[in-house]
């Protein structure tokens, strides 16, 4: 016995009417009053889940109404009922049970039969809006806790089951939000703001003791939504779905919902939808699918497509992927070649900078060697060699060496930054073929790029420091040897 039946039985009603929907369960009772056990009623009310707000209204007259809820004060209720007991003994009174059920990932159903009857009174659009209101709260899937249902009924995102069954099935593999976002990119569904549902929400995957009419209803909605999620343009207007497919030719269809008859072969439309949104490039897949569907729909309705159409779509996509793989390998080779070329440029820049240091060192060595050899022939002391003219010329050579360092440094850094800019430009130039992240992955697979960039920076700093230290050391040595001769006409670091 369900908790609602248990509550109803405490009143022993002459008449009982139950209404059950997603957000409200309402029970209307007529009872010959012979006394009510308030404690028993209160205990029954407390059995209802915390998520639901339950109120039992015992109506003796328009003005005399006793309300029992989970927050009621039992003592006050007993006093009220005792005051009215004698006056209404054996009279017929009205009792209502009102249960408010909030939208969440768990929703109570207290009478599955009445719930199904309520659902079946709605048209397709109303049903989709009912479930949209639940999904729009942000849940990816939800469970109807059915207190008097002995079976199990499940779609990819919705589950009907008895609380005693435990969590038998709850599919979290469907990413509804991603599917909806992708559909906005490739489909123009005029009513999308009203319907936050996808075909998977109505794809029945488990049905045990479920109402056949409900199963059929869900399958029908699944097909309608599959068409909407496949088509270029679609809209729901009154009892019609208007659909436009733009492939090798443009095809328009109008499907009358009131005369629609679901058949098993229509499952292929759901299969095409699942294939379309199950990974890969949704743009390319949608265009290919629409091309083939419009060819197959040349002499028949879109609702008459069969497995051969689906096979043609997947086969052609396989060929398309094979061609793309060849293109991908060519692009990958081009990128790898470019990266290798960039690495060579960096290596050349490092070697060139190192070579400049060697040339600078050799020039210093040759210059001073020439001075010393000349002085030995002239039988001059070392300090006598560095006249004011020689000291000035030598100072200018040292300053020129620093300027040469700056130029060499600028040239090397320019080549380095040019390489970085070229790699960024490479990502942009292939953005219409490959994702920028994918280009980055291909570049990073070349293990020598990063080490060479680090080596370049390290060598640049080390060589620059050695160069500057060498020039400064020579400056001080020259100052010491030249005595009172002014370096660069005015400078004299060490007074003798």
Residue 58 CA to residue 78 CA, distance in Å, equals 13
Among residues 83, 102, 121, which one ends one of the domains?
Answer: 102
Task: Indicate whether 150 and 276 sit together in one domain.
Answer: yes
Residue 331 CA to residue 434 CA, distance in Å, equals 9
496 part of a folded domain: no
Residue 321 CA to residue 313 CA, distance in Å, equals 12
420 part of a folded domain: yes
319 part of a folded domain: no
Task: Indicate whether 224 and 301 sit together in one domain.
Answer: yes
Let me know: does 289 contact 230? Beta carbons within 8 Å: yes
Q: What is the pLDDT of residues 129-171, one digit of tens each?
A: 999 999 999 999 999 999 999 999 999 999 999 988 766 556 6
SS (H, E, C) 120-142: HCCCHHHHHHHHHHHHCCCCCCE
Task: Indicate whether 60 and 88 sit together in one domain.
Answer: yes
**CA end-to-end distance (rounded Å), the chain:** 114
Residue 343 CA to residue 416 CA, distance in Å, equals 10
Torsion (CA) 162, 168, 173, 179 in degrees, nearest 10: -20
Out of 93-107, 171-185, 267-281, 296-310, which region has the weakest mean confidence (pLDDT)? Answer: 296-310
Residue 65 CA to residue 38 CA, distance in Å, equals 14
Max CA separation in the chain (angstroms): 146
Out of 24-38, 304-318, 396-410, 470-484, which region has the weakest mean confidence (pLDDT)? Answer: 470-484
Task: Indicate whether 394 and 473 sit together in one domain.
Answer: yes
Among residues 57, 79, 102, which one ends one of the domains?
Answer: 102
Higher local confidence (pLDDT), 494 or 155: 155
Task: Indicate whether 299 and 385 sit together in one domain.
Answer: no
pLDDT recorded at residue 12: 92
Task: Indicate whether 82 and 151 sit together in one domain.
Answer: no
With a pLDDT cut of 90, the percent of the chain lying above it is: 41
What band does 8 get if pLDDT is binned at 50, 70 and 90? very high
**Taking residues 421-439, what's their average pLDDT?**
65
Higher local confidence (pLDDT), 410 or 68: 68
Q: What is the pLDDT of residues 365-400, one digit of tens each?
A: 676 677 666 666 655 555 556 666 666 777 777 777
Task: Indicate whether 42 and 176 sit together in one domain.
Answer: no
Task: Indicate whether 260 and 160 sit together in one domain.
Answer: yes
How many Cβ atoms are within 10 Å of 145's Cβ, its own excluded? 20
**Taking residues 302-329, what's their average pLDDT?**
74
Above 70 in pLDDT, residue 272?
Answer: yes
Above 60 in pLDDT, residue 490?
Answer: no
Task: Indicate whether 234 and 279 sit together in one domain.
Answer: yes
320 part of a folded domain: no
Tokens of 443: 């570049």
How many Cβ atoms are within 10 Å of 15's Cβ, its own excluded? 10
Above 50 in pLDDT, residue 494?
Answer: no
8 part of a folded domain: yes
Task: Indicate whether 144 and 267 sit together in one domain.
Answer: yes
Q: What is the pLDDT of residues 35-73, one digit of tens each?
A: 899 999 999 999 999 999 999 999 998 888 999 999 999
Question: Strand, coil or helix: what is 67?
Answer: strand
Range of the domain at 39: 3-102
Out of 61-65, 100-104, 411-415, which region has the weakest mean confidence (pLDDT)? Answer: 411-415
pLDDT recorded at residue 345: 73
202 part of a folded domain: yes
What band does 484 get if pLDDT is binned at 50, 70 and 90? low
Tokens of 244: 């436009």
Structural domain count, the chain: 3
Phi, psi of 143 (to 5 degrees): -125, 130
Q: What is the pLDDT of residues 258-267, one digit of tens each?
A: 888 888 889 9
Q: What does pLDDT average to over the chain?
A: 83
What band does 496 get if pLDDT is binned at 50, 70 and 90? very low
pLDDT recorded at residue 95: 95
What band does 329 get if pLDDT is binned at 50, 70 and 90? low
Strand 142-146 with 65-69, pairing: unpaired
**Taking residues 429-439, what's their average pLDDT?**
62
Out of 180-189, 198-207, 247-256, which region has the weakest mean confidence (pLDDT)? Answer: 247-256
Task: Indicate whether 335 and 416 sit together in one domain.
Answer: yes
pLDDT recorded at residue 311: 86
């Amino acid at each position: 016995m369900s908790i609602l039946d248990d509550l109803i039985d405490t009143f022993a009603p002459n008449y009982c009417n139950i209404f059950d929907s997603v957000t409200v369960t309402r029970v209307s009772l007529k009872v010959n009053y012979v006394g009510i056990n308030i404690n028993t009623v209160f205990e029954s009310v407390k059995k209802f889940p915390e998520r639901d707000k339950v109120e039992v209204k015992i109506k003796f007259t328009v003005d005399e109404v006793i309300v029992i809820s989970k927050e009621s004060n039992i003592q006050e209720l007993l006093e009220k009922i005792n005051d009215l007991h004698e006056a209404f003994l054996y009279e017929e009174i009205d009792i209502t049970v009102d249960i408010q059920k909030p939208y969440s990932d768990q929703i109570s159903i207290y009478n599955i039969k009445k719930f199904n009857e309520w659902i079946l009174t709605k048209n397709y659009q109303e049903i989709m809006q009912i479930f949209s209101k639940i999904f729009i709260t942000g849940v990816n899937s939800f469970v109807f806790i059915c207190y008097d249902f002995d079976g199990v009924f499940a779609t990819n995102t919705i589950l009907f089951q008895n609380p005693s069954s435990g969590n038998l099935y709850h599919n979290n593999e469907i990413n509804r939000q991603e599917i909806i976002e992708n559909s906005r990119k490739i489909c123009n569904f005029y009513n999308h703001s009203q319907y936050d549902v996808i075909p998977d929400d109505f794809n029945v995957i488990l049905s045990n003791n479920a109402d056949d009419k409900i199963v059929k209803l869900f399958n029908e909605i699944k097909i309608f939504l599959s068409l909407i999620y496949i088509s270029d343009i679609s809209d729901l207007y009154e009892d019609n779905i208007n659909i436009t497919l733009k492939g090798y030719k443009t095809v328009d269809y109008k499907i009358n919902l009131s005369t629609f008859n679901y058949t098993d072969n229509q499952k292929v439309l759901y299969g095409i939808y699942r294939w379309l949104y199950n990974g890969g490039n949704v743009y390319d897949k949608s265009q290919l699918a629409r091309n083939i569907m419009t060819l197959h729909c040349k002499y028949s309705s879109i609702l008459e497509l069969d497995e051969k159409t689906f096979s043609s779509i997947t086969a052609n996509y396989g060929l398309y992927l094979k061609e793309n793989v060849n293109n991908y390998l060519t692009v990958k080779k081009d990128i790898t070649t470019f990266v290798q070329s960039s690495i060579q440029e960096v290596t050349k820049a490092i070697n060139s900078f190192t070579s400049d240091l060697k040339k600078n060192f050799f020039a210093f060595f040759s210059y001073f060697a020439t001075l010393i050899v000349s002085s030995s022939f002239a039988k001059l002391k070392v300090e006598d060699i560095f006249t004011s003219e020689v000291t000035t010329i030598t100072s200018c050579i040292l300053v020129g060496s620093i300027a040469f360092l700056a130029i060499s440094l600028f040239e090397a850094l320019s080549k380095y930054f040019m390489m970085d800019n070229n790699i960024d430009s490479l990502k942009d130039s292939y953005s219409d073929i490959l994702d920028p992240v994918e280009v980055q992955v291909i570049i990073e697979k070349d293990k020598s790029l990063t080490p060479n960039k680090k080596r370049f920076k390290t060598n640049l700093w080390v060589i620059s420091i050695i160069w500057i230290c060498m020039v400064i050391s020579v400056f001080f040595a020259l100052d010491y040897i030249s005595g009172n001769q002014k370096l660069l006409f005015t400078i004299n670091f060490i007074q003798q």
